[in-house]
Amino acid sequence: MANIRDLAKEAGVSVATVSRVLNGYPYVSEEKRKAVWEAAQKLQYVKNIQAVHLAKGRTAIVGVMLPYIHHPYFSAVIEGISKEALRYGYQLLLFQTNYEVERELEALERLRMKQMDGLIVCSHEVDWEAFAAYQEDGPIVLCEQVERYDFFTVYIDHYQAFVQALRYLIKKGHRRIGYCIGRMTGPNSQARAGAYQDVLREVGVLPRRQWVFDGCLFLEDGKRVMEQWIAMEERPSALLVTSDQVAAGIVLHARRIGVRIPDELAVIGFDNDPLAEMLGITTVALPHFTLGERAFRLLHHWLETGRVARKQEELPARLLVRDTA
């Protein structure tokens, strides 16, 4: 495999010059630059990386299905996936679906057409049955708990994470508890709704539909929640907020309009975003980055060896008590 010394020899320049040209530094003559690039092409300097994969009949591409990219949760998962993909020389083919079923099916079809070696599903709208139908076409790793099928999964136990935060609030004396969520459907959301009902029932409190705030994904949604909260006749005294970005929006808007946190409203976020740390927001730390890393590793191990130690891996969530609850 050609290395930087071979390039220098071929181009008739120093190793330092090759390095400067490859790294785009200025102050190298036109002539030397050209010589280096010609040498790189002649010696197929980069193609060799690919050759290893191609010899195995692989594309060295892994698909990633997710609803949208521009959200801290998904970008943290992608970054975890991407870090491991980089390490093993894989590229990522992104399927941003907006939770549209046809986009999700297209990803599965591309797996069938061998345009990628495997697929990681961060979140989806389509029925599990769909994934079952494509299981023979290549490894599919789901980032959520799946009860019925024998899928590859890496997941956070969102039921337990919610239970943990709810019990903490109850111990602190809260009974009027609401929560903010990204969307009502999906297995994670259903797990949370179940935890909410189960824990409130334990202490003899009725869950209230009007204290569940839907569509909460971004910072701006926190402002909206705060405005809805202030307008309520009967207000919850505590909120679980399934995204620290939204929790930050609540806390910042509360400061602006003079609502005292946690005295008037206790707030527990989820994720452990740097913004939550900076604002002193009590949060349930969720290992999104690790989730991405582990999902890739599971897939990669299967591709390399045809077997895995275990098909299901659960990652822990941890309550970090700070100032807001």
Q: Which residues bind a second copy (CB under 8 A)?
A: 21-24, 33-34, 37, 40-41, 45-47, 49-50, 59, 61, 68-70, 75-76, 78-79, 82, 85-86, 91-96, 98, 101-103, 105-106, 108-110, 113, 115, 124-130, 133, 185, 218-220, 223, 248-249, 252-253, 274-275, 278-279
CA distance 138 to 251: 45
285 strand-pairing partners: 271, 318
For residue 227, the Cα-to-chain-centroid distance in whole angstroms is: 29
Question: Between residues 109 and 314, which has the closer beta carbon with respect to a second copy?
Answer: 109
CB of 75 to a second copy, least distance (A): 5
The residues, ordered by sequence, that sit 6+ positions from 158 with a Cβ below 8 Å of its Cβ are 145, 188, 191, 192, 195, 317
Which pairing describes strands 238-241 and 177-180: parallel, antiparallel, or unpaired?
A: parallel
CB of 307 to a second copy, least distance (A): 28
Q: Do residues 284 and 317 touch, judged by C-beta distance below 8 A?
A: yes
CB of 175 to a second copy, least distance (A): 30
Question: Between residues 128 and 301, which has the closer beta carbon with respect to a second copy?
Answer: 128
Question: Between residues 281 and 303, which has the closer beta carbon with respect to a second copy?
Answer: 281
CB of 289 to a second copy, least distance (A): 8
Question: Between residues 105 and 308, which has the closer beta carbon with respect to a second copy?
Answer: 105
Question: Between residues 138 and 177, which has the closer beta carbon with respect to a second copy?
Answer: 138
Which is nearest to 299 in space by CA: 88, 9, 27, 15? 88
CB of 40 to a second copy, least distance (A): 8
Question: Between residues 1 and 321, which has the closer beta carbon with respect to a second copy?
Answer: 1
Helix 4-11 to helix 15-22 angle (10° resolution) is: 110
CA distance 31 to 195: 68
CB of 137 to a second copy, least distance (A): 11
Instruction: For residue 308, give the amino acid letter.
Output: V
Question: Between residues 80 and 178, which has the closer beta carbon with respect to a second copy?
Answer: 80
CA distance 281 to 325: 8
CA distance 297 to 38: 37
Both structure tokens of 88: 């093993």
Q: Do residues 95 and 103 touch, judged by C-beta distance below 8 A?
A: yes
CB of 203 to a second copy, least distance (A): 28
- Residue 187: CB atoms within 10 A of its CB come to 18
CB of 4 to a second copy, least distance (A): 10
Question: Between residues 177 and 261, which has the closer beta carbon with respect to a second copy?
Answer: 261
Both structure tokens of 189: 């959301």
Q: Give the phi and the psi of residue 95 in degrees, each rounded to 5.
A: -115, 95
Question: Between residues 111 and 165, which has the closer beta carbon with respect to a second copy?
Answer: 111
The residues, ordered by sequence, that sit 6+ positions from 143 with a Cβ below 8 Å of its Cβ are 77, 120, 121, 122, 123, 153, 154, 155, 291, 292, 295
CB of 114 to a second copy, least distance (A): 13
